[in-house]
Amino acid sequence: MSSTLSPSISVLMPTYQQAQFIARALDSLQAQSLTDWEAIIVDDGSQDGTAQAVLPFLSDPRIHYHKLERNTGLGAALNNALDRARAPLIAYLPSDDVYYRDHLASLHAALAAAPDAVLACSGVRHHYNRQAEGQIPGYPLQLVQCLHRKTEARWVARDALESDDLERLFWGRLRASGRVVGTEQVTCEWVDHPLQRHKLMQEPVGGINPFRQHYRVDQPLRFHTTVGNLMDEVSQYRSARERPDTPRAHNGLKILLVGELAYNADRVLALEEQGHKLYGLWMRDPYWYNAVGPLAFGHVEDLPRHHWREAIDRIQPDVIYALLNWQAVPFAHEVMRATPGIPFVWHFKEGPFICLEKGTWPQLIDLYQGADGQIFTSPEMRDWFDTIVPGLSASKPTHVLDGDLPKRDWFEGRERRPLLSAADGEVHTVVPGRPIGLHPHTVAELAGLGVHLHFYGDFTHGQWRQWIDKTRTLAPRHLHLHANVDQPRWVDEFSQYDAGWLHFFRSENGGEIRRANWDDLNYPARMATLAVAGLPMIQHRNPGALVATQTLADELGVGVFFDTLEDLGAQLHDRERLQAVRERVWQQRFRFTFDHHVPDLVTFFRTVVEAARQRRSGTSLPQRQTA
């Protein structure tokens, strides 16, 4: 073992929650043929057994361990290690990766042979048994395969950006100092497993919410992966975070939110702004669109995931508001069964058919039967559940409210843009998200009628690449791709179009609610997106069928219903009629915001609370029981 007084290489090892990996990584480092190294382990706030796993290796004087109190992010952890590094050359060994024996020696030799080079990279084994002689196709250079000269450059830290794109975080600025050389020898392994950082970040399996929960992030993020949309919570929620909490009203409720809040999570601030105190208790293992705390906009006090029962006893909420999508069903059910003395409201959106598929149907039905109050996302959804549990909606307080409406603030005072059609005389329609039902040949037929389609969502574009390629072949001038647009820009961006597409489908239920499927029962999220921008909503006419979007759009007069594409083209070119529909949508746009419905929702909560009080006093139905 060589002295560490003047190491030739400083090996930086960032680690977080990888106690079962780190010994393998350190053992591979100690087996290196080049022995003149120092290792700087920065434990970025682990709460597992990492410290104990490292302890036996600390008898090696080359290995140094530093524990941070809380997770600061990859960039900050690496900068911490860089500041401690004594060697002129920097290597990286993430604690879940592995060096082969001659890894450091071959990289060292490559840089020594190229004085004008700033970075050397090795070949790498990846995805179990695949190999690359250099950079893995489709990925940036990985930490484990790189050695570079020490410079003043530092990694981009969490306050500026969280990304899986290491080129943006560091390699790009390093390249400005010299060229990159490769050994073309496979001397390390980028170990494939579900909790790799890039997998936790990348949608659809990872995403901002899985990332936030895994790393216990308690601040708003600027988050942009190599496959997803830019999310800038810092800018988007600055004004919400900087304002003081709303004082609790004299009759304000203490509301415990349980589960997840989906896309438009900040809508719950409309409850806090009315003087109600909000708490949060969040599901484990969220999907990318399951918003969980700590919430980037603030004003919701999170309860600890450990000992949450004691925390609920401490705060004594007036009502538990459990929501929203299928991923939250098991945890919402667990909380309901553990809190029989607290009024419990279950609000469910997407979707019952997934619960059937995933095996959580029993918990879902028990939630409906056991809850003190229930909220259905459409009248059709309510009626459908009445066929599952006959008499369900009449058995307890029941309310109807779409589960994921946006907050009104984003749209107040926004002015509409001039129509694109006013400039070129053609019709411009928009689909914010997946172009469901719009087959390539359909877009081509629309193009023949002078109708353009504007398709938003760069992440969604990646999922629909084959569709895009085929559609561009058939309608090259009439398909337009645009990046994702967040709520603050919905009005400005979407109001320039003549109309927007809801899901394009032909219902097969024939007016029988038992035959309804998800498209029949659901209000898609884009319905609110189109409404707040004042756009008529295009959907196929389904006469005699029970379709939630059709019923609502017909009731409000905000739809463009068609039987054939020729029929649709004629309606879209009827400027006067279409403008009348646009004005009706614009006048009613705030009905599609959560704030509009808060008074009725709070009244419903109070009804549930009073009904539960009567049960406890023995003047009504028996009290809900624990499992």
Parallel, antiparallel or unpaired: strands 373-376 and 344-348: parallel
CB atoms within 10 A of CB 287: 19
The predicted model gives 163-169 an average pLDDT of 97
Terminal Cα-to-Cα distance of the chain (whole angstroms): 60
Select from 36, 12, 44, 41 the least CA-distant residue to 147.
Answer: 12
pLDDT of residue 458: 86
Select from 37, 19, 13, 159 the least CA-distant residue to 88.
Answer: 37
pLDDT of residue 101: 98
- State the DSSP code for 566: H
> What span, in angstroms and rounded, lies between the C-alpha atoms of 343 and 373?
8
pLDDT interval class at 327 (50, 70, 90): very high
> What span, in angstroms and rounded, lies between the C-alpha atoms of 342 and 616?
10
- The 3-class SS string of 287-312 reads CCCCCCCCCCCCCCEECCCCCHHHHH
- Does 624 have pLDDT greater than 90? no
pLDDT of residue 621: 47
SS3 content of the chain, % helix, strand, coil (to 5): 40, 20, 40
pLDDT digits (tens, 9 = 90+) for 519-575: 999 999 999 999 999 999 999 999 999 999 999 999 999 999 999 999 999 999 999
Do 415-592 and 249-407+595-627 fall under one CATH topology? Answer: yes
> What span, in angstroms and rounded, lies between the C-alpha atoms of 427 and 385?
40
At 126, is the secondary structure helix, strand, or coil? strand
pLDDT interval class at 271 (50, 70, 90): very high
Cis peptide upstream of residue 351 (ω within 30 degrees of 0): yes
CB atoms within 10 A of CB 540: 18
The predicted model gives 3-18 an average pLDDT of 90
Is the whole model's pTM more than 0.85, yes or no? yes
Q: Which two tokens stand for residue 398?
A: 């029941």
Asked if residue 215 lies in contact with residue 73, where contact means CB atoms within 8 angstroms, the answer is yes
> What span, in angstroms and rounded, lies between the C-alpha atoms of 321 and 316?
13
CATH number for the segment(s) 415-592: 3.40.50.2000
Q: Is 250 exposed, middle or buried (0-12, 13-18, 19+ CB in 10 A)?
A: exposed
Asked if residue 451 lies in contact with residue 427, where contact means CB atoms within 8 angstroms, the answer is yes
List the beta bridge partners of residue 398: 374
- Does 622 have pLDDT greater than 50? no
Measured CA angle at 104 (ends 102, 106), to 5 deg: 65
pLDDT interval class at 627 (50, 70, 90): very low
- Does 3 have pLDDT greater than 60? no
Task: Say which residues have a Cβ less than 8 Å from residue 158's Cβ, sequence separation at least 6.
Answer: 72, 73, 75, 76, 217, 219, 221
Q: Is 334 exposed, middle or buried (0-12, 13-18, 19+ CB in 10 A)?
A: middle
Query: Which residue type is seen at 550?
Result: Q
DSSP 56-86: GGGGSTTEEEEE-SS---HHHHHHHHHHH--
Asked if residue 45 lies in contact with residue 69, where contact means CB atoms within 8 angstroms, the answer is yes
> What span, in angstroms and rounded, lies between the C-alpha atoms of 527 and 536?
10
Q: Which two tokens stand for residue 420?
A: 């694109």
Q: Which two tokens stand for residue 413?
A: 């005072």
CA dihedral (420, 421, 422, 426) positive or negative: positive
Select from 403, 408, 433 the least CA-distant residue to 261.
Answer: 403
- Does 4 have pLDDT greater than 90? no
Domain boundaries defined on the chain: 9-198, 249-407+595-627, 415-592
CATH topology of domain 9-198: Spore Coat Polysaccharide Biosynthesis Protein SpsA; Chain A (3.90.550)
Task: Say which residues have a Cβ less than 8 Å from residue 216's Cβ, sequence separation at least 6.
Answer: 45, 70, 71
One CATH from 3.40.50.2000, 3.40.50.1980, 3.30.300.180, 2.30.110.10 for 249-407+595-627: 3.40.50.2000
Percent of the chain with pLDDT over 70: 98
CB atoms within 10 A of CB 466: 9
* Bigger pLDDT: 180 vs 229: 180
| Chain center to CA of 583 | 33
pLDDT of residue 5: 74
Mean pLDDT score of the chain = 96
Asked if residue 211 lies in contact with residue 288, where contact means CB atoms within 8 angstroms, the answer is no
CB atoms within 10 A of CB 619: 9
Asked if residue 94 lies in contact with residue 124, where contact means CB atoms within 8 angstroms, the answer is no
Query: Which residue type is seen at 20?
Result: Q
pLDDT of residue 228: 87
Which residue shows structure tokens 């022995």? 35
List the beta bridge partners of residue 279: 256, 301
Parallel, antiparallel or unpaired: strands 499-501 and 537-540: parallel
| Structural element, H or E, at residue 322 | strand 319-323
Asked if residue 542 lies in contact with residue 555, where contact means CB atoms within 8 angstroms, the answer is no
Taking each helix axis from N to C end, the angle separating 440-448 and 465-474, rounded to the nearest 10 degrees, works out to 30
- The 3-class SS string of 577-607 reads HHHHHHHHHHHCHHHHCHHHHHHHHHHHHHH
Radius of gyration in angstroms for the set of CA atoms belonging to the chain, rounded to a whole number: 28
pLDDT digits (tens, 9 = 90+) for 50-109: 999 999 999 999 999 999 999 999 999 999 999 999 999 999 999 999 999 999 999 999
Parallel, antiparallel or unpaired: strands 89-92 and 146-149: antiparallel
pLDDT interval class at 617 (50, 70, 90): confident
> What span, in angstroms and rounded, lies between the C-alpha atoms of 183 and 400?
64
List the beta bridge partners of residue 348: 376
DSSP alpha helix (H) spans, 475-574: 490-494, 518-521, 526-532, 548-556, 565-573
> What span, in angstroms and rounded, lies between the C-alpha atoms of 192 and 96?
9
Task: Say which residues have a Cβ less than 8 Å from residue 307's Cβ, sequence separation at least 6.
Answer: none
- State the DSSP code for 194: T
pLDDT of residue 626: 45
